[in-house]
Amino acid sequence: MIKRATLLIACLVLPASTLATEMNGIRYADYVGFETKWKLVTTRYRTDNRELRFVYANPIAAKAIEAGAKVYPKGAVFAKIAYLAQPDPAFESSLGPSQTRRIQLMVKDPQKYKEHRGWGYALFTHDGKVNPEPEKDQVNACSACHDLVPERDYVFSQSFNRHTAPAQLFQFDHVEVERSILPAELRGQVPETFSKLLMIKSQLTKSVFQGTLDELKPGLARLAATEKKAVVFLSDDKKKFSLVFPEDLTTDCDDEGAKGISLVSVTSLLDGRVNKAQFCQALAR
């Protein structure tokens, strides 16, 4: 009884911010407020889901990125915050950040994070919670994608003044496969009209989490629209996939004034969460 009373008091006096949430040895509470203290390194915008992203660097990382670092020193930290872009009600054509979607961190510590080439990765929801997927899966997936840029020490961002014209990020290698070789759960999602599909060949299939599937969707959609074929990204353990296919080869649509093709996307982590959506993909002009 006494114990319970003590516990209750402890809970009441602890302000919410000290109830630390932690991922991969990184405490959210240690980084709260970085947006006002650190240097804004770059910004990115994703058109398909209207997501605005801002990348901040702590003083160690900021100094290194400005100098065009090939290797970041211990103690460098990058933080990326993503918002949904929404019109300012006072001036409709001006879209601004609203509704924080998530916060991602990369902390350089070569000893502690040897397994992931010196970077500690962590992902938090807008209110500092961790996502339900196993931590190891998430961290491996972060690293698998950031491994695409070893020449920048696994950091995609470049400072504003060093920015080169952005190249297309994901140039997928792919092979054609028969529908029949796909695992049953995935096969069941592919309309029978597609006896063959394009399957992505990439190091990213090694480790996959929800974020990977989400980030890859625009690339898969571009490929599906230009090739007019079903395109699939399947994890090596065959448990997670992202599939995009033309809804109907004769259906045209309009994507904000540009002629497009109507696509269906299905993503699944095979844990009961199947996400299906229909959308219009503009064809390259």
Q: What is the smallest separation between the CB atom of 9 and ligand HEC, expressed in angstroms? A: 36
Q: Give residues with Cβ within 8 angstroms of 201, minimum separation 6.
A: 172, 173, 174, 175
Q: Chain centroid to CA 251: how far?
A: 30
Based on the number of CB atoms within 10 Å of its own CB, is 151 exposed (0-12), middle (13-18) or buried (19 or more)?
Answer: exposed
Residue environment code for 173-182, b if the CB has 16+ CB neighbours within 10 A, otherwise e = ebeeeebeeb
C-beta of 162 vs 228, nearer to ligand HEC = 162
Closer to ligand HEC by Cβ: residue 157 or 265 = 157
Residue 162 sits at φ, ψ, to 5 deg, of -105, 0
Q: How far is the CB of 142 from ligand HEC (least distance, A)?
A: 3
CA dist 193 and 245 (Å) reads 11
Q: How far is the CB of 81 from ligand HEC (least distance, A)?
A: 9
Chain residues binding ligand HEC by CB under 6 A are 44, 53, 55, 78-80, 104-106, 121-123, 138, 141-142, 145-146, 155-157, 169, 211-212, 215-216
- Residue 110 amino acid letter: P
CB nearer to ligand HEC: give 214 or 255.
Answer: 214
Residue number with CB closer to ligand HEC (145 or 234): 145
Considering the complex, what minimum distance in angstroms separates the CB of residue 178 from ligand HEC?
A: 27
